[in-house]
Structure 1
Amino acid sequence: MEAGIVGLPNVGKSTLFNALTAAGIASENYPFCTIEPNVGAVAVPDARLARIEKHIPTQKIVPAVLKLVDIAGIVRGASEGEGLGNQFLSHIRAVDAILHVVRCFEESDVIHVEGSVDPIRDVETIDTELMLADLQSVESMTERATRTARTGDKDAKLRLEVLAECQKLLAEGKPARGLVYEEANLAKAFKELQLLTAKQVLYVANVDEEDLLGTGKHVMALRERATAEGGAVVPVCARLEAELSELDSAERAEMLESLGLSEPALASLARAAYQLLGLQSFFTAGEKEIRAWTIPAGATAPQAAGVIHTDFERGFIRCETYSVDDLDQYGSEKAIRDAGKMRIEGKGYIMRDSDVCHFLFNV
C-alpha cells in the first residue's frame, strides 16, 4: 500500500519526504531508505512491539512499513498540462491515499508560489486541479461505457450509473470521495474508476518551530476545513524533523525533551497515514524475530497468513492467537494457554488489530 505526498511547490514536501525516509527514524534492526529518487519506505512506530519483547526476548524487531511516493509539485493548470501535467496525474493515480502538505508558516526567505500564505486557497488549488482532471476522465469513460452499454453489457450500465453520480458531484466542485456505496457491485464499479479525488486525504500542516502543536491561525483554518470533510490534520515542522532525522538516538531524545515532545511528529504522521489507508497490524513473535505484519482491516485469518507466505494461505488449517493485552496480563504464551485465553480460530476468523498469531498449515 502506498501514500503519495502532494502539494504546491516550495511547501516543504521534499523536505518532509526526505525526513520520513531517513534511516534515523527507523528501527536499528531494519533498514529504511529511499528506494528510488521519489519512492521510499518508512517504519510505522508501534509501541506494541516493545511490549511484546518485554515478555518474549528476541534477536530482531521488524516494524510495519509504509511506502511513500514524493509527487512533483502541482501548479495551477496542471490538469491542462502545466508543470509536469500528466506525469503528476499518473503518479497520484497509482497511490492508495494522499498526504497533502500545506504550508502553514510565514517566512519571507521562502517564496510562496502564490505570493502569500493561505492554506485554504492552497488546498482549493490542488483540489480544483484534481477535480478538473477527474471530470476529463469521467467524460472519457462515459463515452466508452455508453457505447458498450448499447450492446446490453450489464457492467457498462452499472458503470454509467456511477459515472453519472461522479460527474454531478465533481461539477458541483466536490471531490468524488464524498460518494459512498453500500451495494458491493456499485462500490466495485466506483473503485475501478480510479478517480484522483476518490482517494482519502490526510492534511500535513507544515509549521514553524513556534507552532509545533499546530495551534496557530493557519493550522486552525486547515483543521476546520478537514473537519468539514471528515478528515484530519497532522502538524509537522518539516525542517525540524529533517534535523532530528540526522541525529543519533541520544541526541534526538535530548532535543525532543528540550522541545517538550515525547516523539518526532513524523511518528504520529506515519501512524495516521497507516490508519488512513485502512490498515492494521498483527504480530508474530519468537526468539529470532518479532514482526508487525500489515493487512487491510477486515482481512481473514487465511489472508493474514498469506501475507507471510502464499503457502500459509493455500494450506491454512487454523491459527492460534491472543492479544498484546493478554501478553501484558499473563506474562507469557504458556501462561496465556494455561489460563485458557489462547484462541483457536478457523478460516472465517476476521483478524483484530493487536493479534499475535501462530499459523498451522499444510501443503
Structure 2
Amino acid sequence: MSLQCGIIGLANTGKTTLFNCMSNVKAETSQFAFTSNKSNLGMIRVPDPRLAELEKFQVTEKLVPAVVEIVDIPGLAKGSSEGEGMGNSFLADIRDTDALIHVLRCFDDENLMHIDGSVDPLRDLETLDFELQVRDITSVEKKIQRTEKMVKAGVKDAKATMDALLKVRQHLENFSNVRDLDLDENEKRQIQDLSLLTIKPVLYVCNVDDASAVTGNAYTEKVMEFLKGQNAEGLIIAARLEADIADLESEEDRMEFLRDAGLTEPGVDRLVRSAYSLLNLCSFFTVGPKEIKAWTIRK
C-alpha cells in the first residue's frame, strides 16, 4: 500500500519550506501570502537502517526504501472555505490523503509578516480547523439532501445513513472535528464516501527558528499543552534548518551539521516515523539478489 499525506497550514507558516526539505522537490517559496495557485507533489523515502543490515546477509544490486507521497497545498486564510485567499481549490488535492500534516508557525520574523499581523499558533490552529469543519458541513449537507429522498422512497439502509449524517453534522456544528466523534463501524461506512477532512488523523508540526530546534519555545509550549487534550500528536521542527541540512551533499556533512545544531537526526525522519505511527503502519521486507525492498503495510 502507498501512504499519502497532505501538508496544510496558513500562508507564511513555512510549510512549503518543510515540503522542499522532505521531498527534495524545490517548490517556490515567497515572503508574500497567496503567491501559489497550485499544489506541489513529492515523494519521501522512509529512513530505515534495517535495509543496510539486511544487505549484510544478502548481496544485492539495490536497496529500495518505502516511500510516502506528500501533497503541499497552497496557503490558506480565514474564509478559505468561502473563497478567501486561494479559496477552497485545494480540497480535491487532499480529499484522498490518508493523513494531514498541519504546520503551525511558532517563530517570529519581522521580514515575514503573519497574515493576521501577529504570531499565535493556537489561533491559527482554530482558524484552519474551522475552515475544514465548514467544508465538511457542506459535504454532509449535500448528502443529507440526497438521502432524504431515499428515506422517503423506502430505500434500504437509507435511515441508517441519515442517522449517521445527522450525528456528524451536529458534531461539526459544535466546532468539533469528526475524528473526535465516537462512530461505530457501520456509521463510518455510511460516511466513508464523503472523505471528510476532519476525520483524517492529523500530525501538528511546530515550525520554529533555528535556536529553538532542540528545546522549543513559548509558542510550542502552548501548542503541546493544548494537544494533551486532543486526539493528535505534535512535533517541533525548524524547517529552515532542515532545508540547510538537506542541501548538504554528503552524509558526513549532514551528520556534522546535526551535531553542531544539537540534534541527533533530521526532524524529517522523526516526522515520517510519526506519520507511520499515526496510521498504525509498519514495513516488511523482500530480500533478493536484484533488490532488497521495504513495503508499507498496516500492523
Q: TM-score, normalised by structure 1?
A: 0.75
Instruction: Give the equivalent residue in structure 1 for 2:188.
Output: 187
Q: 2:282 aligns with which of 273, 276, 280?
A: 280
Aligned residue-pair number? 285
Say yes or no: does 1:211 pair with 2:212.
Answer: yes
| Structure of higher RCO (CA pairs closer than 8 Å, 6+ residues apart) | 2
Alpha-carbon distance between aligned partners in 1 of 2:25 and 2:52, rounded to the nearest angstrom: 19
1:220 corresponding residue in structure 2: 221
The one-character-per-residue Cα deviations of 1:173-196 (angstroms, maximum 9, x if unpaired) are 1011112333x3222113222111
Report the Cα distance in structure 2 between the residues aligned to 1:181 and 1:163, rounded to whole angstroms: 11
* 1:4-57 residue CA offsets vs partner (Å, 9 max, x unmatched): 000000000111111111189xxxxxxxxxxx9610000111122223223333
**Is the 8 Å Cα contact of residues 180 and 187 (structure 1) preserved in structure 2?**
no
- Spell out, residue by residue over 1:100-148, the C-alpha distance to the aligned partner (whole angstroms, 9 max, x if none): 0001111211111111111100000000111111112212211111111
Cα distance, 1:94 vs. partner? 2.6
Question: Residue 64 in 1 paired to residue 61 in 2?
Answer: no
Matches within 5 A, 1:99-248: 99-182=101-184, 184-248=185-249
Output the CA distance in 2 between the equivalents of 1:39 and 1:23: 8
1:299-325: CA deviations, max 9, x gaps?
Answer: xxxxxxxxxxxxxxxxxxxxxxxxxxx
Q: Percent identity?
A: 43
Structure 2 distance, partners of 1:215, 1:236, is 9
The answer to whether the 8 A contact 1:74-1:88 is kept is no
Aligned counterpart for 1:263 among listed residues 258, 265, 276:
265
**Structure with larger Rg:** 1
Q: What code does the residue aligned with 2:52 have?
A: A
Q: Structure 2: 5+ residue runs without aligned partners?
A: 27-37
Could you tell me which runs of 5 or more consecutive residues in structure 1 were left unpaired when the two chains were aligned.
25-35, 298-363
Please tell me whether the aligned partners of residues 214 and 220 of structure 1 are also in contact (alpha carbons under 8 angstroms). no
Normalised to the residue count of structure 2, the TM-score between the two structures is 0.90
1:46 — aligned with what?
48
Counterpart pick for 1:10 among 9, 12, 16: 12
**1:55 is paired with a residue of what secondary structure?**
coil
Deviating above 4 A after TM superposition, structure 1's stretches of 4 or more consecutive aligned residues are: none
Is the partner of 1:145 in helix, strand or coil?
helix
2:91 and 2:39 map into 1 onto residues whose CA distance is 18
The verdict on how the C-alpha distance between 1:254 and 1:112 changes in structure 2, with shifts beyond 3 A counting, is same
Matched residues in 2 for 1:95 and 1:250: separation? 34
| Matches of 2:232 and 2:66, distance apart in 1 | 23
Q: Secondary structure at the match of 2:211?
A: coil
